Amino acid sequence: MSFFAKPVPTFAGHARGLSHRSFLRLCLLPLAVVAAAFFLLPMVKLVIVGASGETGLSAYAAIVTQPRYRATLINTVLLAAATTAASLAIATIAGLFLQRHRFPGRAVLVAMLTFPLAFPGVVVGFMIILLAGRQGLVGELTSRLIGEKLVFAYSIQGLFLGYLYFSIPRVILTIMAAIEKLDPALEEAARALGAGPWAVHRDVILPALVPAFVASGAIAFATAMGAFGTAFTLATNIDVLPMVIYTEFTLSANIAMAAALSVGLGLVAWAMLALSRSLTGGTIAAAG
Amino acid sequence: MSNSHGVSLRLEACAKSFPGGSRALDPVTLAVARGETVVILGPSGCGKTTLLRIIAGLEAPDAGGRVFFNDADVTKVPIEQRKVGMVFQSYALFPNMSVAENIGYGLKIRGIGKAQRAARVAELVKLTGIEGFEHRRITQLSGGQRQRVALARAVAVQPSVLLLDEPLTALDAALRERLRSELDRLLRTLGITTIYVTHDQAEAMALGDRIVVMRNGAIAQIGSPREIYFSPQSRFVAEFVGAANILEASIENGELKLPGGRIKLGNGAPAGAVTAMVRPEAIAIVPPERAALCGRVDAVSFVGDRARLIVTGAADRPLVLSVANSTDVKVGERVGLAIEPDAVRLLPGDRR
Amino acid sequence: MRDRVIFGGQLLFTALVAAFLIVPAILSMLAGITVNYFRGIGSGLTLQWVVAVWDLYAETIARSLLIAIATLAATLVVGVPAAYALNVRGGRFARTVEEVITLPLAIPGLAIALALLLTYNGFGDFRRSWLFILTGHVVFTLPFMVRSVMAVLSGIDVKTLDESAASLGAGPWRRFRDVIVPNARPGILAGSLAVVTLSLGEFNLTWMLHTPLTKTLPVGLADSYASMRLEVASAYTLVFFLMIIPLLVAMQLLADRPGTPERS
């Protein structure tokens, strides 16, 4: 499709100097240059490099064929899925509570729950260390209460908590917005027909929230799949895909493999976010 | 009434104020007989929906207010246990369920078995005329169809009271008229005690056994459609229900003195300044020579089944007349006006 | 009675979740100003750790600020006119372009960084300078600026404004400068805050692109978590919080004002 094919709807005339049409082209020029040079071109290069290793195109299949990568993929998917499910559940319970009741301190609670939205993954990792690391809060409390110091920041539980830490704020914002848009008449109609609170939730509220669940769940899943900073800080020996890509590139100098894995990861994340966009029309950035 | 179902309803001193301090409803006392259809009529903001929601159990009346179903005090009973059938203005159909599932929902909650539920749903589908739509999704229905589903759903559980909140307002005018007569037929067939809220006075008169006219949170008048129309008790009711010509004049010797002449009134008319009302269709055009009241035709509109005239000079403000569409008058013509004494209704001072 | 129990239970649950999120943040802020974390507050408050952070990382912090401002400048120059042009053209073209520039949000930063490295490794000077990191940040934050401005523009009748200015004799550039940009100000402001906040906190991309001479604040944070004592790492985190909290508050205030686009 030619960039200039479609006629610009308005201006037929031209003032002295630049015509409107040329001006618009000029407006888009920097964007075109930046996007092409620093995004499109590198992406293409990435795909090519991924196929240029010693195994050629089969590097792309390695993500499922080679046991090591397959295990990593499964790990990452399971972790992302668990994070998504848990944060949706938590966000729904907390979100319904916060939207349905007004009480002093509510605004503070909401701020506390959405504040970590801006934390980079590294900081999240540090938060988990402070909670459950070797000198963490949990360790102190448990050593006083049960005599044994509980440390789990550097295990899969710690990683899971870290993922939860950056997922909850994202998900809860979307869920709360959806709850606000619920039609109260639907709940009243169900109550008029005799439905108690549990039935109202099961038959009216939760089904109405399903689009929000899918949309925010897809974002949470994509973010968790691509999260790097958190795993990096927690220095776990749990393999997640982004860490494997990192080590392949920096330590093993297995560039083609790293590239191929990156493309695979990118495709999965993009597909999830495209799904979410098609259902709502908005996205929150993945960052973690 | 032989075909009477449901409960009798009584409200005692039910008022409602909202947290901001605003008063939606002044204390209202109302009694509704079993099987009766009462229409609550009023402009927006008059408190009619608040009243309906108090009857439903969605709002609690302020302290001192009480609601009785068949002489049992249900004020503290939540809506889930009141067994009311409610039709909302937006219909509030569940989008995640099909038509049949919507209609059967109340039955499902009550634990009625699948087969029995299906039978009842089929019965209601037939009653409301939506055969063939049982498995459709709500989003595929038109406005009129949705209204019927909402009605079927409310009636399925055999409620003690049927509550309708402006059910026809969301439809276009032509559909509204057609559905109004269907609704009338349906309500008579069912015979359940019904409370119907609307701002449309034509609907109120067509459907109600009695009409409760409300204004600014208080009841302005209660009566049958005829009573409300022919004997309004205030200027507000006179003007809200039907068109009205309001005359401010004084009575002397049993006649209403107007700039354009006099109107003879019935016996017992008080002397002094009064506010009177005459309906447009109650004024007839007669030859001016022998008429006691005269005026000049200012405008003529042919509206189809009637003709509308504006006559100036007879009263202190222009009079609106509704005459037969065959009446032959021209703009500027001097005409005589004939009004039966009974057609002049004296209004007491307006109460708010 | 049952209602109160349910309310209490939900409140407790929500408070616990909020605590999970906030307590470590508060702990870290406190640890940054405590003499000895293990002995707790009782050991006294001090700014020595913050000073230590400044000694060690002042240059890194300054570089982060430089990159953030440069990113802002770049996204303003590239993004605002583009948002205007896309808004005017509309149609499938605009949607496709929007889709393309939003891709960097979908693709993990790691992958984008890798792609940039593979493409520009040969350009030694460029690759080793802070400009390289700048390009990564621009690619990542550009969609936020563009969408923020487009959201505001779609709420006003740009076409009519443009036409009326033209009828008064203004050429395209004058119209853009005097009419379009001032009317798009809420979107530009919201976008700017988002861009700066994101740039300051960006890690995934930057970690791959950086060299020992081009570290940014989050990179420094990762360093300190790995090799510094807890108090220093906490103090550094505290500095980071102090930098972004005003930005976050400003973004929230802006979002609450009528006439601003919703943060997507």
The tens digit of pLDDT for each residue in B27-45 reads 999 999 999 999 999 999 8
CB contact under 8 A, C159 and A9: yes
Q: What is the pLDDT of residue A280?
A: 62
C63 has pLDDT over 70: yes
A8 has pLDDT over 70: no
Taking the model in full, what pTM does it have?
0.78
Question: Picking from A10-24, A124-138, B338-352, which range would have the lowest pLDDT averaged per residue?
Answer: A10-24
pLDDT, average across residues A10-37: 77
Q: Which chains touch C (3 or more CB pairs under 8 A)?
A: A
C264 has pLDDT over 60: no
**What b/e readout covers C7-28, taking b as 16+ CB neighbours within 10 angstroms?**
eeebbeebeebbebbbebbebb
Burial of residue C57, with CB atoms counted within 10 A of its CB: 0-12 exposed, 13-18 middle, 19 or more buried: buried
Q: How far is B153 from chain A (nearest CA, A)?
A: 8
Pairing of strands B23-32, B9-17: antiparallel
Tokens read off for C74: 């770049």
pLDDT tens for each residue of B99-119: 999 999 989 888 899 999 999
pLDDT tens for each residue of B180-208: 988 999 898 889 999 999 999 999 999 99
Please state, rounded to an integer, the average pLDDT across all residues of chain A.
83
Q: What is the pLDDT of residue B253?
A: 84
Q: Who among C79, C110, C166 is closest to A11 (CB)?
A: C166
A57 has pLDDT over 80: no
Band (pLDDT 50/70/90 cuts) for residue B350 is low
Q: Does C16 touch chain A (CB under 8 A)?
A: no
Please state, rounded to an integer, the average pLDDT across all residues of chain C.
87
Intervals of CATH 1.10.3720.10 along chain A: 64-279
Strand partners, A243: none
pLDDT tens for each residue of C187-227: 899 899 989 999 999 999 999 899 888 999 999 999 888 88
pLDDT tens for each residue of A146-196: 878 888 888 888 899 999 999 999 899 889 989 988 999 999 999 999 999
Sign of the dihedral through C-alpha C30, C31, C36, C37: positive
Q: Which strands make up the sheet holding B218-223, listed edge to edge?
A: B84-87, B161-165, B193-198, B37-41, B210-215, B218-223
Question: Picking from A232-241, B282-291, C74-83, C148-157, which range would have the lowest pLDDT averaged per residue?
Answer: A232-241
Are B276 and B347 contacting, i.e. CB atoms less than 8 angstroms apart? yes
Q: How far is A40 from chain C (nearest CA, A)?
A: 9
Cβ-based contacts of B79 with chain A (< 8 Å) = 188, 191-192
Report all structural domains of chain B as residue ranges with CATH numbers, in order of start.
9-238 (3.40.50.300), 244-347 (2.40.50.140)
Q: What is the pLDDT of residue B68?
A: 95
Are B335 and B269 contacting, i.e. CB atoms less than 8 angstroms apart? no
Q: Which chains touch B (3 or more CB pairs under 8 A)?
A: A
Q: Does A236 touch chain C (CB under 8 A)?
A: no
Q: How far is A199 from chain B (nearest CA, A)?
A: 8
Task: Please state whether at least 3 CB pairs lie below 8 Å between chains B and A.
Answer: yes
Q: What is the pLDDT of residue B335?
A: 93
Band (pLDDT 50/70/90 cuts) for residue C229 is confident
Overall CATH class of domain C50-256: mainly alpha
A14 has pLDDT over 50: no
Q: Who among A255, A258, A273 is closest to C106 (CB)?
A: A273
Higher pLDDT pick, A7 / B288: B288
What residue of B is the nearest CA neighbor of A185? Answer: B92
Q: Where are the domains of chain C?
A: 50-256
C10 has pLDDT over 60: yes
Question: Picking from A141-145, B275-279, B285-289, which range would have the lowest pLDDT averaged per residue?
Answer: A141-145
What residue of A is the nearest CA neighbor of C84? Answer: A27
Give me Rg for the CA atoms of chain A: 24
Q: What is the pLDDT of residue B145?
A: 93
> What CATH number does the domain located at A64-279 have?
1.10.3720.10
Reference C19, options A79, A131, A92, A288; nearest CA is: A131
Task: Please state whether at least 3 CB pairs lie below 8 Å between chains C and B.
Answer: no
pLDDT, average across residues C228-238: 89
Q: What is the pLDDT of residue A13?
A: 46
B215 has pLDDT over 50: yes
